[in-house]
Amino acid sequence: MNKICKSAWITMAVLQLLTGALHTLSFIAEPEAQDETGRQFLHLMMTYKASLGAGFYRTTFQIFTALSACFTLLYLLAGITNIYLMRAKAPMHLLHGMAGIQVIVLGTCFAIMAALTFLPPIVFTGLCLMACILAWLATRPVISQQ
């Protein structure tokens, strides 16, 4: 693995792990309302249990927390997998394929984040996507001239 490729993969893995770690901070902070309407909204989100069928009753906050945990786990899985592949000295074609898969998955994630969330997840997902694209470009197969 050349120096540029290694730098791209390290950057990608570090950004993914950092994104996952920073997102865990959202589980520590309690949501706070700014006004009476916000307080009513938060109260309903945290207490009203909707029937989701098959005997499942969940609050909107529980569903939101589950999706938020999946976002964190997605980035931790990606970062840890990338570190493992680098340490295992995976062949270049495998790194290229893995980076390509991550470009597709994180590109989709970025589109969803850009459309439906707020600035921090958009920025971090965008940075991770750019790092994945660079890693994918750095590991592309070299066409030998014969």
Domain boundaries, the chain: 3-29+69-138
Identify the three-state secondary structure at position 56. Answer: coil
Size of the chain, expressed as the number of residues it contains: 146
* pLDDT at site 124: 96
Q: pLDDT averaged over consecutive 10-residue blocks of the chain (146 residues)?
A: 88 95 88 92 94 93 92 96 95 94 97 95 96 94 56
**What's the pTM value of the predicted model, to 2 decimals?**
0.86
